[in-house]
Amino acid sequence: MPRRLPVKSIRMVPTKTLCELYKAPCPGYDRPLAFRFHGEPGHSLAREKPGHSSSRVPVSNQVLYNQHRVEGLPDGKARSRYSGVTTIVPHQPQPSFEDESLAFFLHEYCVYPSPGIIRGHLDFLEDMYRGSDRASCIRPATLATAYLSLSRHYKSSTLYVTARKYYGAALRSIRKDLSVSNKNTIKDETLASLMLLGIIEDIECQGQDMKAVHMSGIAKLFEIVGQKVLDNVSSSTLYSWIFVQMQVASLTTTSPMECLVISDKDLDISNPSLRLALVVTRIGQFYREARRITTYIDPTVTPAEQRVMLVTVIQQALALGKEVALISTQAMPSKLQPQQTTDKRPVASKNQPLISFNSQWTAATWTFFMSCLTVFFNRLHLCSMTLLALSSEGPDGPDAQLARAAAAIAEERLKVVAHMVCHTLPYLFGEVDEKGMPLPVPQRRSVIMYHIVWPLSVLIASPFTSPQLLEM
C-alpha cells in the first residue's frame, strides 16, 4: 500500500461560505469571551501551567474529574466508571489579569447616568482609557487602581505587587505630564489620573491627612490656571467627582480653596444638581469661617469683637438653613427624593421606618449631602454655645436669645438627619430593595461602600447621634 504524504494545515479561520450559500444568519467565529468572576474572596489566583492536569479542567469540575479518572488514560481524558465512555475535557480559556482587573473595576465602580440616578460616577473612564495613547498617564493610573481593587477582592499578593508597579509608573507619568502641560488649562486625563491615585490612597488606608494634601494639591492646580470646579459640575461627572472630594478635604485643611468660591450670578440655580453643589460650597465656606472664629481665633481679638463675628456668622448660617430646607422640599425632582416605607426584614422591629431611593448611587449621594448638613449644624451649635458663653447682656439679651434659638434649631436638625441616615443604611448596604423587602443575597457594590465611609464617620462622631440609633 503506497504511503500518503502528510498534509500540513494552512491554519486558516473557517469562512462563512455555507451560511452565505444557504442564506442563513452567520454567528461568526471571532467571539469575545465574557468575563465571569468565578473566584471567591481569599482564593488563590495563580494560573496553572499549561501541561498541568488541572489546567485542562474547570475548577467547578475538578472534583468530578478526579473521581472519574482511570489510571492508564492520557492526561486530559476521563472515562466514566458507569458508562465506560471516554470524554475529552476541553481546555478553558482564561482572560488576562489586566483585562479581568479592568472589567472588575469598571463593574464595581462605574455608575452610568439614568433618570433615577443623580449624575453618575466614572462613566467617562472606559472611553477615556480606550481612546488614550500608550504614553498617557491615565493608563497606568487606571491599571494601578484596577489591579489594587481586584487584589483586595481576591486577597492576592501577586496582583498587589502589580498594582504597586503601575502606581509608580502613574506617578512618573503624571509628574512628566504636569511639567510639560499648558499653563492655561489642565487636561482631563491628568485630573482623572490624580483622582484615581486618591482612590488608591483610600483603599490603602493612608489616612485623611494624605488625602487632604492630595486634594489641596489639585485645588492649587485649579487656582494656578484660574479654573472653577463649579463651572462644570453639572455637565461633567469628572468635575462633580473632584468637587465632592474637594469638599471633604476643605473641612480639614487651612487652605482657602479659592477654586470653590464662585458668585451666584454666574450659575444657573434652576439646575437641581448645581444648586445643591452651591449649597454644599456655602456650607464649606461657613464651616471654615466658623472654625476660624471658634477654634483658631487670633489672641489679639477681644471678646466683644468675637461676639460680633459670631452673631454675623450665625445669622448667615440661619439664612443658609432656610435655603437647605427649601431645596429638600421643592428643588429636587421626585425621582431623586427619599421614599418612606417600612423595613420588612425579620430582624427589624414592627413598622420600623425605612428610607429608600430609585438607586443606591442616589442614596449614597444623598447620604453625602446629609453628612455635610451634620457638619454644618454641629458647627452652628458650637458657635451658638460660644456666643452664649460670651454674652455680656444677660440671658435675656439679643445675642443670648439668638444663640439659644440657633442652638435649638441645630440640635433638632442633627437628630432628624441622624435618624434619616440610619434608616437608609439597610438599603445602602443592599439588604433590602426599594420597597423594603429583604433580598436573599445582599447586593453590595464597592462604589457605594467607598462613598459612605466618610458620611458614616461624620455621623458616628456627632455628639447628637444616640448609641441606640447606631446599634439599629
Point out the least confidently predicted range of 115-119, 160-164, 339-343: 115-119
438 bridge partner residues = 432
Higher pLDDT, 24 or 343: 343
Higher pLDDT, 385 or 220: 385
Higher pLDDT, 337 or 141: 141
**Cα separations in angstroms, 104 against 140, 144, 151, 160:** 16, 13, 11, 15
The pLDDT tens digits of the residues spanning 30-68 come to 444 444 444 444 444 444 444 444 433 333 343 333 444
d(CA 349, CA 183): 60
Mean pLDDT of 408-415: 92
The pLDDT tens digits of the residues spanning 298-308 come to 778 888 888 88
d(CA 396, CA 391): 10
**How far is Cα of residue 10 from the mean position of the Cα atoms in its chain?**
51
Higher pLDDT, 198 or 221: 198
Q: What does DSSP say about strands 353-356 and 339-342: parallel, antiparallel, or unpaired?
A: antiparallel
- Give yes or no for residue 118 having a pLDDT over 60: yes
Higher pLDDT, 117 or 450: 450
Query: Tell me, what's the pLDDT at 26?
Result: 67
- Give yes or no for residue 280 having a pLDDT over 60: yes
* Continuous H helices in 47-131: 62-68, 97-109, 125-131
356 bridge partner residues = 339
The pLDDT tens digits of the residues spanning 226-238 come to 666 666 777 778 8
Mean pLDDT (the chain, rounded): 76
- CB 120 within 8 Å of CB 111: yes
Mean pLDDT of 396-419: 89
- CB 368 within 8 Å of CB 451: yes
Residue 38: exposed, middle, or buried by beta-carbon count in 10 A (0-12, 13-18, 19+)? Answer: exposed
Pull the grid cell for residue 389: 458663653
Query: Tell me, what's the pLDDT at 264?
Result: 57
Which H/E stretch holds residue 88? strand 86-88
The pLDDT tens digits of the residues spanning 246-270 come to 877 777 666 666 666 665 555 566 6
- Longest CA–CA span in the chain (Å) reads 123
Query: Tell me, what's the pLDDT at 9?
Result: 55
Pull the grid cell for residue 457: 464617620
Q: What does DSSP say about strands 353-356 and 86-88: parallel, antiparallel, or unpaired?
A: unpaired
